[in-house]
């Protein structure tokens, strides 16, 4: 079984495998290419992003710098907004829905390392080789989600549609749709309802209107 197939199967794999290292090197170099562009070089940026991620919808914007690990394991919907230092360590699959917004320093991680130090350093493969190994769990983010600054999404987490994740949160478990969640570890604070509409905040709405 190829190491990439092991990632998909959720079992231990060797991140130092030559095939995986080649994928990561290509992506890391493309990250640097993107990060060296000017913000208004939209066509150039779009060409680079197409080479990095597995799939991306129309109308997205990534402020940069960006940091994808594999890139090809990430699928992104339409109208993404990602602020400074958007990091996606996509050893396993990462999916992001439409109309998602990420504040500065958002980090999405999928790899998990053994807890026991000796096992973290070396494991024995089926072929009798001693190698450094880990495993990975996919992350899934729904549509219309907003993440505050410095949010970390941990391996194996699913976040439902229409969620708001408070700044500085570390998301270690699933968050149901229509939730405001925050904290370390992140927990649901309450459901988002009609009462959260800007129409009930006239002092902020000013002379604007809710569509």
Write out the catalytic residue numbers. 113
Provide the terminal-to-terminal Cα distance of the chain, rounded to the nearest Å.
53
Quick one: three-class SS letters along the chain? CCHHHHHHHCCCECCCCHHHHHHHHHHHHHHHHHHCCCCCCHHHHHHHHHHHCCEECCCCEECCCEEECCCCCEEECCCCEECCCEEEECCCCEEECCCCEECCCCEEECEECCCCHHHHHCEECCCCCEECCEEECCEEECCCCEECCCCEECCCCEECCCCEECCCCEECCCECCCEEEECCCCEEEEECCHHHCHHHCHHHHCCCCCC
Whole-angstrom distance, CA of residue 163 vs CA of residue 141: 9
Instruction: Give the relative orientation of helices 42-52 and 18-35 as an angle to the nearest 10 degrees.
Output: 170
Number of residues written out for the chain: 211
């Amino acid at each position: 079984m190829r190491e990439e197939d092991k990632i998909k199967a959720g079992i231990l794999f060797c991140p130092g495998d030559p095939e995986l290292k080649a994928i990561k090197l290509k992506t890391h170099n493309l990250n640097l290419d993107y990060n060296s562009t000017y913000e208004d070089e939209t066509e150039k940026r779009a060409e680079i992003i197409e080479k990095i991620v597995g799939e991306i919808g129309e109308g997205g914007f990534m402020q940069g710098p960006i940091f994808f690990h594999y890139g090809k394991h990430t699928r992104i919907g339409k109208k993404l907004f990602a602020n400074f230092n958007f990091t996606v360590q996509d050893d396993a699959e990462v999916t992001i829905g439409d109309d998602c917004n990420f504040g500065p320093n958002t980090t999405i991680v999928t790899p998990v390392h053994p807890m026991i130090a000796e096992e973290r350093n070396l494991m024995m493969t089926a072929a009798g080789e001693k190698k450094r190994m880990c495993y990975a769990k996919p992350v899934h983010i729904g549509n219309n989600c907003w993440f505050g600054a410095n949010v970390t999404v941990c391996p194996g987490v699913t976040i439902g549609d229409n969620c708001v994740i408070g700044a500085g949160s570390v998301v270690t478990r699933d968050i149901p749709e229509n939730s405001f969640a925050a904290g370390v570890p992140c927990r649901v604070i309450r459901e988002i309802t009609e009462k959260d509409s800007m129409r009930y905040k006239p002092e902020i709405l000013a002379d604007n209107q809710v569509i």
